[in-house]
Chains A and B, each alone.
Chain A
Amino acid sequence: MNQITEDLLKIVSDWNGIPDAAYNIREDSGCAGRRSTEHIQIDSKEDLPGINITVQPGTKGEMVYIPACVTHSAVDDLVYNDFYIGEGADVTIVAGCGIHSDGEEESRHNGIHRFFIEKGAKVLYLEKHIGTGKGSGARVINPVTEATLAEDAYMEMNTTQIGGVDSTVRKTKATLQQGAKMVVKEKLLTEGTQRAESDFVINLIGEGSGAHLVSRSVAKGHSEQLFRSCLVGEAACSGHSECDAIIMDDGKVSATPELTAHNVDAALIHEAAIGKIAGEQITKLMTLGLTEHEAEEKIIEGFLR
């Protein structure tokens, strides 16, 4: 593993040396390290680039690290990772991608993750994306997440893109069976001429299933964001999606909520708010001694925490 990868790992997965857990480190489309554990098996796919992660039923409190790093320009990385989470398991998966580029050509990471979460299993999925380096080549990250949640399964996705990624198209699709729950917390910051698109489709097909989706984003400079959420209620279920965006400078944000109910007992709600930082918030922090700029930074830091 090279130094750039180590630096990126610290940012995207709080890396602090080889963890005492299952892990697979992807570096410039290759494998820079892997370990399986007694309960979690990681294997290369035979037909496609990528890995299968198999968590045995009943595995509790274990972690899996699967970060991906691109360390120079002109890399076009495509990976298919499939997660099989056994019945009753409870695991944390730390993913994330960092692209470092000092060159002029575009580097790209396309990560396609599929989750098959069995009955009563619980997954916390943490994903951070970042771009670094001084090259003019664009850093592009396009993640696709598809999740199938069996009866009473639970998945929480915390995704963060905090800077340096020039273009992202994020697609998340989930299907929830009876009693399954999904929570998504997305945080996104774009600046300069960056562009981000986030697209969620959650199908609530089982009775008592529920989804809670919160997106918080900040668009600075001339950056642009597009947020689309689609909740489909096919049974007696509950769905809530919320898009909260702060725009600064010439930033642009567009939010498109979509709710579809095919059952009279489907309770679906969407909330969206887009606007600049409230003047009174800045004034309040200035009365505590912060400058106007410090106040803005603090408000954004809290908003995206």
Chain B
Amino acid sequence: MLELKHISFRVEDGGNKDILDDISLTVGDNRFVVITGPNGGGKSTLAKIIMGIEQPTAGQILFEGQDITALSVTERAALGIAYAFQQPVRFKGLTVSDLIELAAGHSLERGDLCGYLTEVGLCARDYIDRDVNASLSGGEIKRIEIAMALARGAHLTVFDEPEAGIDLWSFNHLIAVFQKLRRETRGTSLIISHQERILDIADEIVVLAGGHIVARGHKEAVLPKLLETGSSVNFCEGKAEQL
């Protein structure tokens, strides 16, 4: 499904800095993979590189056997990659239904539109005609972002910190959304997350720190080690530990 080969991302920040250094990762079909690790470890950069928002300075990305390294964001979207932003974008004049229809790629019956919103715990009639602008709270816009990702129905969906910026009530509902997504195995989900309850439902956990994969494996093996540290952010940069 997705194969990252020796991906590096280097920035010139008063000297060269490797945000990602020789990352190789293969993700299979219908998998639910969570990438975790400390802030600044390169997780969001990796997500952006998969979607094509950032270009790697070295390496190759294969999606369903096709080399997509040079493809644009639009081309990757057309191939079946979806992306939910950590900080959803706001628009003046575009409504919730506009964006969900764009995500679905065609116009939708009102019932279908409402279905996507209900799925993320929003009362559809209160939101369907609302502008996706600054009047929405962080929790509301985050759920709309996830509804858009669901409407895409993509083979691979990348969620960048879906829990960021949402309140506790929204978070509990979010977990239920991901549990349902997991149960119904709608394509492959790649989720950047710090949250234990999201890690808990993963098929596989990848720990990214200092631009390297420092641990990777099934949740049964990685989760206890993560919990032993008391936090998922205590991994030191170093050699990958294949569990």
Contact = CB atoms under 8 A, between A and B. Distances in A.
Contact of A298 (B82, B83, B102): B102
Interface string B89-105: 10111110011001101
Interface string B64-83: 00000000111001100011
A290 B101 CA distance: 12
A210 B113 CA distance: 37
B105 A303 contact: no
Contact of B94 (A283, A287, A291, A299): A299
- With most chain B CB atoms within 10 A of its CB, the pick from A278, A280, A286, A291 is A286
Interface string A269-287: 0000000001011011111
Given A278-B89, A281-B89, A284-B85, A289 B78 contact: yes
B148 interface: yes
A286 B72 contact: yes
B98 A290 contact: no
B93 A288 contact: no
B53 interface: yes
A280 B89 contact: yes
A288 B94 contact: no
Contacts of A285: 102
Contacts of B99: 288
A286 B74 contact: yes
A289 B105 contact: yes
A249 interface: no
A14 interface: no
A126 interface: no
Instruction: Select the residue from B53, B82, B93, B152 with max chain A CB neighbours within 10 A.
Output: B93
B51 interface: yes
B74 A291 contact: yes
B89 A284 contact: yes
Contacts of B82: 287
A288 B102 contact: yes
Contacts of A290: 74, 102
A54 B113 CA distance: 45
A299 B77 CA distance: 18
A286 B92 contact: no
A144 interface: no
A303 B98 CA distance: 12
B91 A288 contact: no
Nearest to B78: A289
A292 B92 contact: no
A300 to B, nearest CB: 9
B89 A288 contact: no
Given A280-B89, A298-B102, A302-B93, A288 B77 contact: yes
A289 B74 contact: yes
Which one of B88, B92, B152 has the highest number of Cβ atoms from chain A below 10 Å of its Cβ?
B92
Contacts of A301: 93
B98 A302 contact: yes
Given A298-B102, A303-B92, A283 B152 contact: no
A285 B74 CA distance: 9
Interface of B: 51, 53, 72-74, 77-78, 82-83, 85, 88-89, 91-95, 98-99, 102-103, 105, 148, 152
22 contacts: A216-B92, A244-B92, A281-B91, A283-B89, A284-B89, A287-B51, A287-B73, A287-B85, A289-B74, A290-B74, A291-B74, A292-B74, A298-B98, A298-B102, A299-B91, A299-B93, A299-B94, A302-B91, A302-B94, A303-B92, A303-B93, A305-B93
Closest 10 CB pairs of A and B: A302-B93, A302-B94, A286-B73, A284-B89, A289-B77, A303-B93, A287-B83, A288-B102, A286-B74, A280-B89
Given A284-B85, A287-B51, A287-B77, 8 more contacts: A216-B92, A244-B92, A287-B83, A287-B85, A288-B77, A288-B103, A288-B148, A301-B93
